[in-house]
Amino acid sequence: MEHGMGLNIGQDATFVIGSIIVGYFILISVFGGYFARFSRNINDFFYSGQRFAWWLPAASMIATGIGSYSFLKYSEQGFNTGMSSSLTYMNDWFIVPFFMFGWLPIVYFSRVKSIPEYFERRFNKTARYVAVFIIMAYMLFYIGYNLFTIGIAIEGMVGWPMLWTIPIVATFLGAYVTFGGQTAVIFTDLFQGVMLYVAGGLAIFAGIYALGGFDEFWGWLPITHRLPFVHLTENVKFNTSGLFWGEALAGSIAFTFMNQGFIMRYLTIKSIHDCRKAVVFNVLVTLPVSAIVVGAVGWIAKSLVAKQAFVGGALAGYNPIVIENTFHTFLVVAWETLLQNTWLFGFVVAALTAALMSTIDTLINACAAIMIYDIYKPLIKQDETDTHYLKAARWASVIATATGLILVIWFAQQKGSLMSIHYKGIMVIIPAIVTTIFLGAFWRRFNATAAVSAMVLGSILTLLSVPYPELIKPLAAFVKGPQNGVYIYMRALFGMCITTVIGVSVTLLTTKYKATKAELKKSKGLTICTLDDAMSIYRGGGKPNHTVGEKVGDLNVVIDESIPTKTFSASASVMKRLKANPSDIVYVEDNRRWLGGLRAGHIKAHDIHQGEDDVVMLSAQTFHDLYLLEGKQVRLEKIF
């Protein structure tokens, strides 16, 4: 039957594809549910005890950065404009130093549980709850958007109405996130990241094979589609200038600085040094590879269409590839180049499902973190047990999922392409808060009055630019782009500029040239110029020990109840190799590196014992809290 997108999928094929999708959902739910055993308390549920090696969260971020819309949107863009479709994945480089050496260590060492909590500690409670409103709007928008796009894909492909598919998808998603927490999210995303790359690679290989090899693909790809950039301003809907000011500047800062889900992934890593390794891996490996995986089928589609036009019909052994709706470019090309093999195509569609799940699970977990740490715990139940907050966190996950589901109704009523719907919301939500975060982290004089004014007034003025686009006209003229009355990208630049003007002006009008002692004390450890203070606060006082030591492995654990909880005792030889002093923070992990820190945690050095050099002493409670196993050796690494 025809579904309006160039796919002729029979009832039997629909059943096979649907079975693969449902089977995949069940597999992931069971897989994620297994890791629920590693969420014993609220810190484990949201931050996995901050114990993972860098490579595990870094690899899981592959799936976090690719949403259900990515294959569809970027393949469409690749078909229309070629390799410039990778621009949105490749323009994060300039923000990386600010993130690696500024914002990330501030958030990591200050031990904030959420971005809004940072706003209260840096500014005041009013700033915190303004930030809660904006950040929740941002993340719930993405949850609804991802559910909406996967609903469109399934409905267009197999004819199942969104009314049924989206609630079912949301139910499966909510299940393993609700019970598994961040550890389940990381391990399922690790698996799904592999799925995404394998399935995307399969579609790319099938397309190039259909063309007759890489040389044929490159030869039939128009010269304009081989360029890494599009014209600076020519195309109103997709131009290099607009992409930089809108997507790179506002979008990149939002994704790295204020996306609670993205930040939480870094906060699961064992040390700031490993966090930076993950950042570098993400920028140099994950983003470039992901750009190819999600966009290359669009490039291949252009070559296929060009070659078909030249030979005057379908390629030998294949049906004609007709792309009536460019939004479905990925699905059409994958279906035809895989020779309508329902099992292989079902696997590729499962990758779209993986992209949906891996993005939304992160966002659901992040929304739940804000609901607990910024709303429920400080405003409703302040002094409850970890068990109580863990149950509340699971209910918060359900609420976040349900809210995203309701937002699908709004998305279904919008007109235009997926990209225009996406920017319609995001470019209104993010400018004010990302600018405020940047000013707060890198300008110590920036105060609470200025922060609240900047977020509130900046958001209002940015919102006003929707019905009154002439407000953006001066900036649009500045980049000499065409005037289309909509300004898809320039709204973000307008919002950031107006927020900066408000923030700087209010700061200069409400503070003296030098900050007061009270203001300096309040900002200690929360700005880039006070990172040493942040490290001291992180370790509970005392000067950080930056002397680099060895990682000492193959140590046997002996239970000794005289050792205080959350501490360990090692021999003088081991302490010397670690370059550790009493009260230093030390990372203890299962000796098997492939676990990636699943059985590990941070504790403090206690007194030196007089026993064997290969023995480390812990209390039974500490042994239990670290998820260690009897008979398994451990490795020690001094953090600072």
- Tens-place pLDDT, residues 493-514: 889 999 999 999 999 998 776 6
Other beta carbons within 10 Å of 341: 15
- Single-letter amino acid code for the residue at 520: L
Q: What would the two tokens of residue 299 be?
A: 């490039």
Say which residues have a Cβ less than 8 Å from residue 349's Cβ, sequence separation at least 6: 17, 20, 21, 153, 157, 331
Half-sphere exposure of 176 (CA within 13 A, CB side): 26
* Other residues' Cβ atoms within 10 Å of the Cβ of residue 188: 27
Cα 163 → chain centroid: 27
Q: Angle 548-553-554 (CA atoms, 0-180°, nearest 5)?
A: 165
Tokens of 540: 């509970």
Residues of the chain with pLDDT under 50: 1-6, 482-483
User: Residue 503, exposed/middle/buried by CB under 10 A (0-12, 13-18, 19+)?
Assistant: buried
DSSP annotation of 233: S
Q: What is the spatial distance between Cα 530 and Cα 522, in angstroms, rounded to a whole number?
A: 11
- Give the containing element (helix H, strand E) for 157: helix 125-158
**What's at 22, amino acid-wise?**
V
The rounded distance, in Å, linking the Cα atoms of 629 and 168 is: 38
Radius of gyration of the chain (CA): 26
Sign of torsion over alpha carbons 598, 53, 281, 117: positive
User: What is the rounded (10 degree) CA torsion for 348, 354, 356, 362?
Assistant: -160
d(CA 192, CA 353): 9
Strand partners, 66: none
Q: Which helix (H) or strand (E) holds 46?
A: helix 42-47
Q: Which domains does the chain have, with CATH numbers?
A: 11-418 (1.20.1730.10), 551-638 (2.40.40.20)
**Paired tokens of 184:** 């389940």
> Could you give the angle at which helices 448-464 and 418-429 cross, rounded to 10 degrees?
150
